[in-house]
Structure 1
Amino acid sequence: MTIRKKLLLFIPLLVLLVNSVTFFLFQSSQTVQQSYGIMMDRILMYNQSAQTADLTLRLLYQDLIHTESNSTTNLDQEQHKLEEIRSKLSKITSPSLPPSTLTGYSHMLETLIEQTTAVLAAVEAQTPSIAFAHYADAEHTTGFIREEAQRLVDIELAFYQPIYQEVQQENTRMNQLSSAIFVVNTLMSIVLAIWISQSITGPVRKLVSLARRVSLGDLKVVDSLRSHSNDELGILSEAFKQMTNDLVVLMEKDKANIEQEKLLKELELQALQNQMNPHFLFNTLNVLSKLALLEGAEKTSDLIISMSNLLRYNLRNLDQPVTMKDELNIVQEYCTIQQARFRDRIQFELDIDESTLQEPIPALTLQPMVENAFLHGVQGMEQGGLIRLEIMRIPKGILIKLIDNGCGMDENTRQAILRMEAGTEKEHSTGLGTRNVFKRIQLFYGQPNLMNIDSAPGQGTTITILIPK
């Protein structure tokens, strides 16, 4: 999930949750307040009706005693107010009272209004006795209204007392629930804020730290870079990891190229140090070869030509690959020279697959290996020395096997040569040893473990080299 989706999803959800809880609390409080308000309106209406009845009775008495007073206007207002209250009472219902009770109370108010009207009519007709008789009735009716209003209030309060207690408990519970919801919402907001912050700032801080380490040359930071998110920062972390891996690969390639160039420079330097004015030397060898031929020494002439070819091949440009055929030719020249020296003491055998003759191979690969087998393997043997070179094609490429029946080597020497450690070999006539050949093969093909040595003291040596496809 992307960071934008996280923000657009979780923040509105949190706001919606808070608003929903707030709306629920508001609706609950509104319901309680509405129920409480309806009950209080009825109770106030009962009290107001009793107070209005008392005030109407007092004004009526003043009108009887003081006929010249201006209480008639106020009396009319109170009568109108009493009629409004009666009209409202006739329309309301109460769960605590039967409809007949409110109807009877409404009739009491109506009766009081009629008695008040009768008193005023008698006063206008100047019949005091009739007026006082109606006033006495109105006074009794007002007493009944007062008592009934108080009874109605007591009934309402008695009915709503357990409900009011429940409302109080509900209010207490709602207050506690509101506090709990406030705490939960606060904690959820904090957790959500921390989670979003960590999902954004945490990987950024880690990337900044790793980038700083990479800038200081520490390229092993990739091992500590682990990202399991699928957002933009996860993609950025993977891209940074891939870039660092590519940088490591490029640096390894550059290091290998530099090492190869250094090795080639060393070989060229060795060739220059061993060089004795090649043109003069080759011309001298050619003259000696022709003199030997004129004198009838054909074997001597062939030997000089072999030496000349070997010397010319060793002084060539070493950074250019050659064919397998070229390498085999120089091996045969070397074998010619050694057989002229040791004659039947040493035998050289070749088993070559002709389909491999045009395959490219680094220069000076086979001849130094054969020379190494001769110097360290069979040179000290009085007779029966054998060096065998086999080249065959296999599914993985070309397999070169160099076998000798010489003195062999111990395990420490074998491991040291395979690890290409310096100082494991004596200097050869060509200046190139097995370590040098192994190193150049590894750099040339860019693959490790292409060489192997099978040897033991007194049991000869077998060197295998795989030339990959």
Structure 2
Amino acid sequence: MSIRNKLLIFIPLLVLLMNLVTYFLFQSGTIVQESYDLIMGRVLKYKETAEAAEDSLKAVYSYLLHPTEDMKTVAAGKLTQISALHSSLMETGAVPPLASSLTGYGNMIQTLLSLEQQSLAAAENGKASEAFSHYLEAEKTVSFIRSEGQRLVEGELDYYRPVYRSIQADNAHLYKLGVAVFALITTLSIVVALWISRSITAPVSALVRSADSVSKGNLDTVLPDGGKDELAALSSAFNKMLAGLKESIEKDREIAEKEQLVKTLELRALQSQINPHFLYNTLNALSKLALLEDAEKTSDLIVSMSSFLRYNLQNLDRQVPLRSELEHVKEYIRLQQARFRDRVEFRLDIEEKALDVRVPSLTLQPIIENAFVHGIAHMESGAVISLIVREDTSDTKIIISDNGQGMTEEIREALLSRSQSVQAPGAPGPQASGQTKTGGRSTSTGLGTRNVFRRLELVYGREDLVQISSQPGKGTTVMLTIPARRSGINSVSADDSR
């Protein structure tokens, strides 16, 4: 749920709940107030009626003593007032136990009104004795009205005493309920506020901590990916940004490592020569001189040596057809056969259609060289090195094997992991550093197998392209897998045609 939806849903719900509780309390208070008004209204009307009866009797008496027009008007007004109170009291009614008493009370008020009117009429006609006689009767009636009114008040109070106590209990209950509801709403408001604020501040704090960690170089920070609000989307975008950044850094690192490796290979190759052009010219001159002296084999070896060195000193930052690599290996074999003669047999089993696949420059020769130097160099006879090239449906297999001294499992695993510290002999490629010891001296074997394996990994972006099987005394077999389709892989160079 988005932050905006949280605010639009929970805050109005909270306000609505508060309004409903307030309305409920207001309605309960209104009911209680109506009950109070009903009780007190009847009691007050009884009291007002009794007081009005006494006032009207006094007004009549004053008129009898001083029969003036003003006194008559006052007395008539008092009679009208008591008549109105009588009507109102009868409309209000009484509680069921006092219904008959209320009727008698009303009759007494009517009797009082009649006696007072007769007294006023007799006084107005000059019949003083008759007027005072009616007045005395009215005075007795007022006394009855007073006592009956007091009895009705007490009856009402007795009847409503349980109701009053119930109202008091309801008031106490409402008070407690109001306190409880206030506490509940306050707690609920705090919980909702904390929940909404935490849903905002917690992801922001985590994002700040992650950004600070990233600024210190730690790219392994991962924000928790949960929720559906805007901050969750921001956290997801931050994680994707970090993943993209790590991928970009890894690609840059691989490119830098590849370039450094190529530069190192070129430097090692160039360091073995003082002046390549001078060496080429000298070898060509020696070849021609050998021809002039009818030493054709010597001339062929010099030409092979020249071609071999020229290929080794070319720009290594490129890919070449496997056919070119095979020709370079053949030149190297000619040179080695001149040295080993019949001690070693080299076997080729090549599928012609597989030779057009492109591979990194100087991929095969370093492995063949290590097979000679580390695998079969100690053998006096019967040494065999074979090179097999096969094309599968999805890739090309290159298998290089020898029947030399082999290598231990520890060395084999170290070569596959491209360890920097493999120093035991083996074949092909027992030393990742490309160094071998001959006669107590350290001599270069050219390009080490470690560099070959690493270049294949960088070029094709895979780590399963090399397999080595070997046992001490039983020879070694290296199988290289060259993917037939290489779309989207790393390239050794932007220009493969050089």
TM over 0.5, shorter chain = yes
Residues in 1 aligned to 2:360 and 2:180: alpha-carbon distance in whole angstroms: 81
Question: What's the counterpart of residue 163 of structure 1?
Answer: 163
Match of 1:203 in 2: 203
CA distance in 1, matches of 2:449, 2:455: 10
Amino acid at match of 2:253: K
Amino acid across the alignment from 1:248: K
Show the 5 A alignment for 1:244-393: 244-393=242-391
> 1:248, CA displacement in angstroms?
0.7
Could you tell me how far 1:68 is from its partner in structure 2?
6.2
Partner of 2:493: none
Deviation at 1:149, TM superposition (A): 1.4
CA distance in 1, matches of 2:261, 2:9: 62
Quote the offset at 1:65 in angstroms: 4.0
Q: Name the SS of the counterpart of 2:91 in structure 1.
A: coil
Structure 1 position 459 matched with structure 2 position 474: yes
Aligned-partner residue type, residue 282 of structure 1: Y
Deviation at 1:206, TM superposition (A): 1.1
Over aligned residues, Cα RMSD in angstroms? 1.9
The one-letter code sitting in structure 1 at the alignment partner of 2:141 is T
CA offsets 1:311-370 (integer angstroms, 9 cap, x no match): 110000000111111111111111122122212221112222322211111100000011
Distance 1:166 1:7, change over 3 A: same
Q: Give 1:378 deviation, angstroms.
A: 1.0
Query: Cα offset for 1:156?
Result: 1.6
Structure 2 distance, partners of 1:400, 1:14, is 75
Which shifted more, 156-165 or 7-16?
156-165
- Residues 96 and 155 of structure 1 are in contact (CA less than 8 Å); yes or no, is this contact kept in structure 2? no
Q: How many equivalent pairs are there? A: 467
Name which of structure 1's ranges 115-124 and 144-153 shifts more when overlaid on structure 2.
Answer: 144-153
**Are residues 437 and 337 of structure 1, via their aligned partners in 2, closer, same or farther at CA, if it must alter by over 3 Å?**
same
Cα gap change, 1:95 to 1:392, in 2 (>3 Å) = farther
Q: Distance in 1 between matches of 2:319 and 2:346?
A: 25
- Determine the structure 2 residue equivalent to 1:107: 107
Which residue pairs with 2:448 in the alignment?
433
Q: How far does residue 144 in structure 1 lie from its aligned partner after superposition?
A: 2.2
Cα distance, 1:393 vs structure 2: 2.6
Deviation at 1:200, TM superposition (A): 0.6
Q: Is the 8 A contact 1:96 1:159 kept in 2?
A: no
- Paired with 2:396 and 2:316, the residues of 1 have a C-alpha distance of 21
Q: Does structure 1 residue 82 correspond to structure 2 residue 82?
A: yes
The 2-side partners of 1:78 and 1:257 are apart by 116
Further displaced range: 150-159 or 171-180: 150-159
C-alpha contact (below 8 Å) 1:314/1:430 kept by paired residues: no
Q: Does 1:218 find its partner at 2:218?
A: yes
Q: Does 159-168 or 104-113 show the bigger shift?
A: 104-113
Q: Give the residue type in structure 2 aligned to 1:237.
A: S
Separation (CA, whole Å) in 2 of partners of 1:350 and 1:153? 132
One-letter code aligned to 1:221: T
Gaps in structure 2 of 5+ consecutive residues: 423-430, 437-442, 486-498
Letter in 1 for 2:61: Y
Q: Find runs of 4+ consecutive structure 1 residues off by over 6 angstroms.
A: none
Q: After TM superposition, list the pairs within 5 Å mapping 1:128-143 onto structure 2.
A: 128-143=128-143
TM-superposed CA distance for 1:32, in Å, is: 1.2
Q: Matched residue of 1:391: which SS?
A: strand
Deviates more, 1:209-218 or 1:238-247: 209-218
Per-residue deviation, residues 1-35 of structure 1 (Å, max 9, x unmatched)? 11111111111110110111001100110111012
**For the residues of structure 1 that align with 2:357 and 2:447, how far apart are their CA atoms?**
22
* SS class of match (1:220): coil
Q: Who is 1:232 aligned against?
A: 230
Please state whether the residue corresponding to 2:385 is helix, strand or coil: strand
Structure 1 distance, partners of 2:205, 2:263, is: 46
Residues 399 and 465, structure 1, Cα contact 8 Å, conserved in 2? yes
Separation (CA, whole Å) in 1 of partners of 2:168 and 2:239? 64
Equivalent in the alignment of 1:182: 182
What secondary structure, in the 3-state scheme, does the structure 2 residue paired with 1:91 have? helix
Residues 259-312 of structure 1: per-residue CA shift (max 9 Å, x gap): 111111111211221223223222222233233334443332222221111111
Deviation at 1:252, TM superposition (A): 0.9
The one-letter amino acid paired with 1:451 is: V
* In 2, Cα distance between equivalents of 1:400 and 1:164: 107
Partner of 2:496: none
Amino acid at match of 1:164: Y
Which residue number in structure 1 is paired with residue 31 of structure 2?
31
Looking at structure 1, the residues matched to 463 and 289 of structure 2 have their Cα atoms a distance apart, in angstroms, of 50
Q: 2:464 maps to what in 1?
A: 449
Does residue 399 in structure 1 map to residue 414 in structure 2?
no
Q: Distance in 2 between matches of 1:112 and 1:353?
A: 142
Q: Contact between 2:67 and 2:124, CA under 8 Å: does it hold in 1?
A: no
Output the TM-score relative to the length of structure 1: 0.95
Partner of 2:404, secondary structure, is coil
- Alpha-carbon contact 1:57-1:138 (below 8 Å) kept: yes
Task: Return the alpha-carbon distance in structure 2 between the equivalents of residues 354 and 378 of structure 1.
Answer: 28
Equivalent pair of 1:398/1:467 in contact (CA under 8 Å): yes
Partners of 1:95 and 1:383 in 2: CA distance: 136
CA distance in 1 between partners of 2:144 and 2:258 (Å): 124
1:227 aligned counterpart, secondary structure: coil
**Structure 1 letter corresponding to 2:193:** A
Deviates more, 1:270-279 or 1:423-432: 423-432
Q: Deviations over 1:80-107 (max 9, x none)?
A: 2101101212322344456554343223
Task: Provide structure 1 residue ranges, at least 5 long, that are not aligned to the other structure.
Answer: none
